[in-house]
Amino acid sequence: MLELSGFAFYRQSLLLFEKKLQKNEMFTNVESPISNLVMNENIDFEFKAVIKK
Protein backbone atom coordinates (compact mmCIF):
# COMPACT_ATOMS: atom_id res chain seq x y z
CA MET A 1 0.00 0.00 0.00
CA LEU A 2 1.24 3.44 -0.94
CA GLU A 3 0.00 6.55 0.85
CA LEU A 4 0.82 9.80 -0.89
CA SER A 5 0.10 13.30 0.35
CA GLY A 6 0.97 16.71 -0.98
CA PHE A 7 -0.19 20.15 -2.04
CA ALA A 8 -1.77 21.30 -5.28
CA PHE A 9 -2.35 24.90 -6.27
CA TYR A 10 -5.42 24.06 -8.39
CA ARG A 11 -8.05 21.31 -8.53
CA GLN A 12 -7.46 20.81 -12.27
CA SER A 13 -3.81 20.00 -11.60
CA LEU A 14 -4.80 17.56 -8.90
CA LEU A 15 -7.33 15.82 -11.15
CA LEU A 16 -4.70 15.50 -13.89
CA PHE A 17 -2.27 13.98 -11.39
CA GLU A 18 -4.93 11.52 -10.23
CA LYS A 19 -5.60 10.41 -13.81
CA LYS A 20 -1.88 9.85 -14.36
CA LEU A 21 -1.71 7.71 -11.22
CA GLN A 22 -4.70 5.66 -12.39
CA LYS A 23 -3.17 5.09 -15.84
CA ASN A 24 0.25 4.18 -14.46
CA GLU A 25 0.77 0.44 -14.75
CA MET A 26 2.72 0.35 -11.46
CA PHE A 27 -0.40 1.10 -9.39
CA THR A 28 -3.88 -0.30 -8.90
CA ASN A 29 -6.86 0.67 -6.74
CA VAL A 30 -6.00 4.39 -6.64
CA GLU A 31 -8.24 5.98 -3.99
CA SER A 32 -8.92 9.68 -3.62
CA PRO A 33 -11.08 10.89 -0.72
CA ILE A 34 -13.83 13.41 -1.44
CA SER A 35 -11.92 15.92 0.68
CA ASN A 36 -9.50 16.26 -2.26
CA LEU A 37 -12.29 17.94 -4.23
CA VAL A 38 -13.72 20.37 -1.67
CA MET A 39 -11.42 23.28 -2.46
CA ASN A 40 -10.75 24.84 -5.89
CA GLU A 41 -7.31 26.16 -4.95
CA ASN A 42 -4.56 25.53 -2.39
CA ILE A 43 -5.43 21.89 -1.77
CA ASP A 44 -3.75 19.56 0.70
CA PHE A 45 -4.41 16.16 -0.87
CA GLU A 46 -3.87 12.48 -0.22
CA PHE A 47 -4.09 9.34 -2.30
CA LYS A 48 -3.84 5.66 -1.51
CA ALA A 49 -2.86 3.03 -4.04
CA VAL A 50 -1.65 -0.53 -4.24
CA ILE A 51 1.73 -1.13 -5.85
CA LYS A 52 1.57 -3.97 -8.37
CA LYS A 53 4.17 -6.71 -7.98
Residue 38 phi, psi (nearest 5): -65, -45
pLDDT tens across the length of the chain (53 residues): 999 999 999 999 999 999 999 999 999 999 999 999 999 999 999 999 999 98
Number of domains the chain contains: 1
| Residue among 25, 23, 28 at smallest CA distance from 1 | 28
What CA–CA distance (Å, rounded) separates 10 from 52? 29
Read off the pTM: 0.90
Which domain, by its residues, includes 41? 2-51
